[in-house]
């Protein structure tokens, strides 16, 4: 089936490519018009001035359901079965951390970014500088994952193009968007994207079930007998419902610990993601923030349950050995290839276009906010003492930053082309959970917390997670697949179980090493605001 499938993709790629381009163009037009509203069409949304709970919930879901969840999780399940499902579970349960711990205090305090929260009661300049560095790092990791997905998609649509050229092309396109400020990830773009992605996923799930005559037991029976080619070339049947194909103690003695480490990063990381936190600023009050998290949880949960249909569907209908692009097994392409096989040319083009547009929207939004906050919080605050020396300097610095970050992301995405994008996003979560989560939580709930603690916590969490990733088996390996050809110094692929406690510990120890009575005095104001919402209504009219 492999050759026929590939042949079909190659022969009909012109139709698919044309439709793909049409869908992407349509999305860009929608994006353009919804971004236009920011520049003055006052009456456009005059009736609904404020984002309602379910709208914001959809936007949160749209921000969150990046290509990584759609392409990555489906691919992970298609190749590794049950263990890939652990990502789905973690990504959803993570929202309980957001709902119970950070969403309402942030909304009530009227804070927009993590830097705002920290600067509110601590010394603004150092905490803003560190917060912007960590935001930039998390965004870069996120961007690499999205570019790997986009590169593989383009490669699939244009079989003649090499992966390197595809990634570079996508990357340059994204940088052009960002540097010229053409595309803004508005709430409305995210809402449209979420709806399209949900519709596509739902339809594909129905097609998978139809393939099994809507007989769930037949489906599960097929999942427990997936043919997998082992290293020596023989085909063995594996039960994909059984846990442990990746993280089992039998496969790797560190596996179970790695799984827990991944779990910690997922449930802690979401509450530290810059593009999720800012969504709570867009609603009028804490009650709406709360309702929007619940809506997001319902939508995201339904989406992740459906990714299991896509993943298991690809595993059973296509089988892992046929999920190949350009001769290489590419788990990230499991969902698009499944769409092609079950839904034909049009549906394949639709799914690819939605995934591609998703990548553009997420990356453009993230890069603009990260580079702007770097220019504002790091460059102007730290280097120029809070004053722009020339008009437009901040914008210029932001553009340079976006360019540099984009170039780094292109370089790393080319190196990491066969890595699963959900795994890459998992690393972004680990960095967010190690650096951002400790300081956000401590600054909301701990009176004694001070500037030294915040700066140290951010720096240690950031460094620990990055260093542990660099010396982990995903970067260092002896089989030539890693970026560094050497034996890994750290046994786990996911750094969370070490770096998250380190981030907390560093923040707590550094806090106890210094006293800052002013920061403690300001905590009263923070506590009253976070719990009552007093003063937050003013924040909306910015």
Partner 1 sequence: MPPSDPHNRDLTPESAAPTDIAPLGRETVPAHERTADEEKAMADWDAIAADPDFKSLLASKARFIVPATVFFLAYYLALPILVGWFPSLMTKEAFGGLNWAYVFAFSQFIMAWVVAFLYVAAAAGWDKQAAALLAKFRR
Residue of 57, 90, 88 lying closest to 294 (CA atoms): 57
Q: Which stretch binds partner 1 (CB under 8 A): 406-414, 419-427, 498-506, 531-539?
A: 531-539
Q: Are 485 and 467 in contact (CB under 8 A)?
A: no
214 lines the binding site for partner 1 (CB under 8 A): no
Q: Are 155 and 326 in contact (CB under 8 A)?
A: yes
The pattern of x and - marking residues 293 through 312 that bind partner 1 according to CB under 8 A reads: xx--xx--x--xx-------
Residue 415 Cβ vs partner 1, minimum distance, rounded to whole Å: 27
Q: What is the dihedral of CA 117, 120, 121, 124, to 10 degrees?
A: 100
List the one residue from 196, 204, 259, 440 that touches partner 1 (CB under 8 A).
Answer: 259
Residue of 274, 300, 53 lying closest to 197 (CA atoms): 300
Select 83 or 340, whichever has its Cβ closest to partner 1: 83
Q: Which stretch binds partner 1 (CB under 8 A): 21-29, 88-96, 150-158, 164-172?
A: 88-96
Residue of 298, 295, 307 lying closest to 201 (CA atoms): 307
- How large is the angle between the packed helices 2-11 and 13-36, nearest 10 degrees? 60
List the one residue from 31, 69, 288, 373 that touches partner 1 (CB under 8 A).
Answer: 373
Burial bucket for residue 243 (CB in 10 Å: 0-12, 13-18, 19+): middle
Interaction residues for partner 1, span 1-40 (CB under 8 A): 35, 37-38, 40
Dist CA 139 CA 123 (whole Å): 24
Residue 345 Cβ vs partner 1, minimum distance, rounded to whole Å: 34
CB contact burial 201-219 (16+ within 10 A = b; e otherwise): bebbbebbbebbeeeeeeb
Interaction residues for partner 1, span 455-474 (CB under 8 A): none
Interaction residues for partner 1, span 184-213 (CB under 8 A): 184-188
Residue 286 Cβ vs partner 1, minimum distance, rounded to whole Å: 8
Interaction residues for partner 1, span 98-127 (CB under 8 A): 99-101, 104, 110-113, 116, 119-121, 124
Residue 519 Cβ vs partner 1, minimum distance, rounded to whole Å: 9
List the one residue from 137, 292, 352, 372 that touches partner 1 (CB under 8 A).
Answer: 372
Interaction residues for partner 1, span 164-183 (CB under 8 A): 181
Interaction residues for partner 1, span 266-295 (CB under 8 A): 267, 275, 278-279, 281-282, 286-287, 290-291, 293-294
Task: Compute φ and ψ for 489, nearest 5 degrees.
Answer: -95, -15
Residue 101 Cβ vs partner 1, minimum distance, rounded to whole Å: 7
User: By three-state DSSP, how is residue 324 classified?
Assistant: strand
Select 63 or 331, whichever has its Cβ closest to partner 1: 63
């Amino acid at each position: 089936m492999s050759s026929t499938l590939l042949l079909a993709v190659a022969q009909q790629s012109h139709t698919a490519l044309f439709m793909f381009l049409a869908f992407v163009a349509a999305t860009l037009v929608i994006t353009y018009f919804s971004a236009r509203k920011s520049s003055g069409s006052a009456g456009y949304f005059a009736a609904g001035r404020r984002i309602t709970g379910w709208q914001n919930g959809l936007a949160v879901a749209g921000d969150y359901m990046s290509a990584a969840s759609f392409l990555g999780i489906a691919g992970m399940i298609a190749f590794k079965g049950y263990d890939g499902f652990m990502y789905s579970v973690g990504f959803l349960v993570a929202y309980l951390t957001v709902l119970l711990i950070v969403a309402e205090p942030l909304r009530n305090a009227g804070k927009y970014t993590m830097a705002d929260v920290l600067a509110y009661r601590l010394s603004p300049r150092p905490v803003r500088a560190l917060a912007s560095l960590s935001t930039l790092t998390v965004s870069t990791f996120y961007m690499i994952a999205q570019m790997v997905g986009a590169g593989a998609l383009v490669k699939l649509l244009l079989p003649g193009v090499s992966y390197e050229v595809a990634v570079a092309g996508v990357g340059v396109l994204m940088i052009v968007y960002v540097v010229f400020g053409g595309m803004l990830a508005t709430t409305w773009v995210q809402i449209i994207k979420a709806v399209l992605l949900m519709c596509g996923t739902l339809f594909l799930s129905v097609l998978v079930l139809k393939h099994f005559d809507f007989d769930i037991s037949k489906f599960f029976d097929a999942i427990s007998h997936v043919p997998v080619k082992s290293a020596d070339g023989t085909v063995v049947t594996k039960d994909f419902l059984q846990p442990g194909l990746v993280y089992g103690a039998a496969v790797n003695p560190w596996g179970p610990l790695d799984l827990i480490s991944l779990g910690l990063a997922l449930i802690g990381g979401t509450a530290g993601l810059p593009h999720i936190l800012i969504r709570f600023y867009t609603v009028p009050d804490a009650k709406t923030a709360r309702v929007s998290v619940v809506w997001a949880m319902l939508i995201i949960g339904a989406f992740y349950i459906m990714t299991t249909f896509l993943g298991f569907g690809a595993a059973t209908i296509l089988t892992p050995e046929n999920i190949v692009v350009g001769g290489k097994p590419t788990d990230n392409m499991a969902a698009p290839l499944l769409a092609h096989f079950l839904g034909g040319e049009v549906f394949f083009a639709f799914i690819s276009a939605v995934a591609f547009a998703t990548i553009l929207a997420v990356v453009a939004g993230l890069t603009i906010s990260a580079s702007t906050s770097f220019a504002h919080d790091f460059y102007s605050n730290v280097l120029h003492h809070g004053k722009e020396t020339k008009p437009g300097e901040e914008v210029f610095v932001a553009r340079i930053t976006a360019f540099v970050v984009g170039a780094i992301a292109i370089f790393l995405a080319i190196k990491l082309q066969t890595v699963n994008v959900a795994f890459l996003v998992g690393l972004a979560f680990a960095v967010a959970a190690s650096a951002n989560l400790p300081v956000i939580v401590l600054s909301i709930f701990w009176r004694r917390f001070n500037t030294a603690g915040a700066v140290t916590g951010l720096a240690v969490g950031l460094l620990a997670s990055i260093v542990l990733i660099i010396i982990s088996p995903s970067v260092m390996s002896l089989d030539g697949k890693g970026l560094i050809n050497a034996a890994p110094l750290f046994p786990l692929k996911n750094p969370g179980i070490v770096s998250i406690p380190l981030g907390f510990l560093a923040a707590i120890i550094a806090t106890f090493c210094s006293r800052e009575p002013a920061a403690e005095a300001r905590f009263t104001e923070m506590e009253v605001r976070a719990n009552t919402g007093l003063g937050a209504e003013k924040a909306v009219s910015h």
